Amino acid sequence: MSSRHKKSSRGSELHVPNRYLSKNYVQDQQLSQVPAGAEPDIEATKYLEVKAKSMINQVNSPDLFMDYSLNPYQGCEHGCAYCYARPTHPYWGYSAGDEFETRVLVKTNAVEVLKKELCARSYQVKPIMLSGNTDCYQPAEKKFQLTRRILQLMLDWRHPVMIITKNALIKRDLDILEELNNWNLVRIAISLTAASDQTRRLMEPRASSIGTRLDAIQHLSQKNIPVHAMMAPIIPSINDHEIFDMVRLAGEAGASSASWQIVRLNGEVQTVFENWLLSNYPDRTDRVLNQIRSCHGGQLNDSRFGTRMKGEGLNASLISQQFKLALNRFLPKKEFPPLRTDLFRPSKSGMRELFD
C-alpha cells in the first residue's frame, strides 16, 4: 500500500471555522505570498498565558477510569489529526484545526488555583488524571514546568495522581514520580500508537519517537513504577497491522498492562482527519473512513456509552481478537492495589479553613 508523505511537521494546516464565532477568516489566495504549488511556511507555536478560574474537572463518563481530570494547558502541539480534544479549542475562541496545535493556552496560575480547590471543605479525595484534553508533557512543559509543579504539590500533600502522555519528557520528573510511587500515589500510562516511526511521523508529527517512549516505559518500570501502555486510537488500515508489535515492544520495555481504543471522529475532528487522510493516504481514504463507520453503526462519531471506545462489527471484533492474542503472548496483566487516598494532608500554609 502506497502513501504520500507530507513535508509539513503539523498534523493539520486546515483552518476549521469556529462555530461559536460570528465571523471567521479565510485565506485569500490572490493576496497570499506563497507561490502556487509551494509548501506554505509552518507557523511557529504561540504560547498564550491565561488565568484559570478552576483546575479540577469532574468526570462522569462510565467509559473512563477517572473521577477527576486536570489540564495545565489547552491545545496541544503534538498535532494528532485524530485527537478527540480538538473540538474543545473553539470554546476558547480558536480553530479546532491549525490553531489547536499552534495556539497553546498556558494556565499560569494552575498551582495556586489547584491549592484552593484541594483545600475546599467539600473536596473529596480521588485520583486526579493529568490530563483529559491536552498532553501535560507537550513541548510547552519544557518552558513552563506546570506539570512538574503540580506533581510536586501532589507529593507534598500526599494526593494520588494519574498521568497519560506520549512525550518522553516525563523522564525529567523521575525523582518526584519515584517518591509518589513509594507512597502508592501514582499510576502512569504511556500512549503507544505505532510500532514504527514511519507510521508515528504521519500520525503524531511532533510527539516523541516510538523509541524514546519505550525508553520512558523502561526507565519508569526500572523504578518499579507501574506503567500502562495505552494503544489508542487504533485506526483500521493505518496502524491496526502493528498491534502485535506494539504489545510486544511495550512488554519488552517493562509495561505492566495495556489496553486499546478504536478511533472515533467527534465534531470538527471529522474535517481535520479527512483532510489528513487525503494528504497522507489518498489511495485508501475511502476505505479507512468506511471501516471506521463500520465500527460505529455507520457513523464516524459514536457517543454511545459502552460502545464508543471499542466499537462494534467485524472490524472492531478482529482488532479485539488481535489485541487479546497479543496480550496473552507478550504482556500478561499484573494487578496493583488502588491508589491511596487516606494520606492526603494539605500543608499548614494551605489549611482548608483559610479558603472557606
Give tens-digit pLDDT for 41-100: 557 899 999 999 999 999 987 777 789 999 999 999 998 999 999 999 999 999 999 999
47-331 CATH pick, 3.30.70.1520, 2.30.42.10, 3.20.20.70, 3.50.50.60: 3.20.20.70
Nearest to 195 by CA among 233, 273, 135, 248: 248
pLDDT in tens, 278-315: 999 999 999 999 999 999 999 999 988 889 899 999 99
Query: At how many degrees (to 10) do helices 110-118 and 146-156 cross?
Result: 30
pLDDT bracket for residue 127 (50, 70, 90): very high
pLDDT in tens, 51-65: 999 999 999 877 777
Q: Can you tell me the distance from the alpha carbon of 172 to that of 161, in angstroms, rounded to the nearest whole number?
A: 17
pLDDT bracket for residue 150 (50, 70, 90): very high
> Between the CA atoms of 300, 246, 8 and 216, what dihedral angle is there, to the nearest 10 degrees?
120
pLDDT bracket for residue 17 (50, 70, 90): low
3-class DSSP assignment, residue 313:
helix
Which residues, 6+ apart, have CB-to-CB distance to 23 below 8 Å?
Answer: none
| pLDDT on residue 11 | 61
Beta bridge partners, 186, equal: 161
Q: What backbone phi and psi angles, to 5 degrees, belong to 187?
A: -135, 145
3-class DSSP assignment, residue 286:
helix
| pLDDT on residue 329 | 95
Q: Can you tell me the distance from the alpha carbon of 275 to that of 16, in angstroms, rounded to the nearest whole number?
A: 11
Instruction: Determine how many CB atoms are found less than 10 A away from the CB of residue 6.
Output: 16
Q: Is the pLDDT of residue 201 over 50?
A: yes
Q: Can you tell me the distance from the alpha carbon of 268 to that of 274, in angstroms, rounded to the nearest whole number?
A: 10
Which residues, 6+ apart, have CB-to-CB distance to 326 below 8 Å?
Answer: 243, 244, 246, 247, 248
Which residue intervals of 44-137 are DSSP H helices? 98-102, 110-118
Nearest to 52 by CA among 123, 111, 139: 111
| pLDDT on residue 35 | 43
- In this prediction the pTM is 0.87
Beta bridge partners, 107, equal: 50
| pLDDT on residue 335 | 82
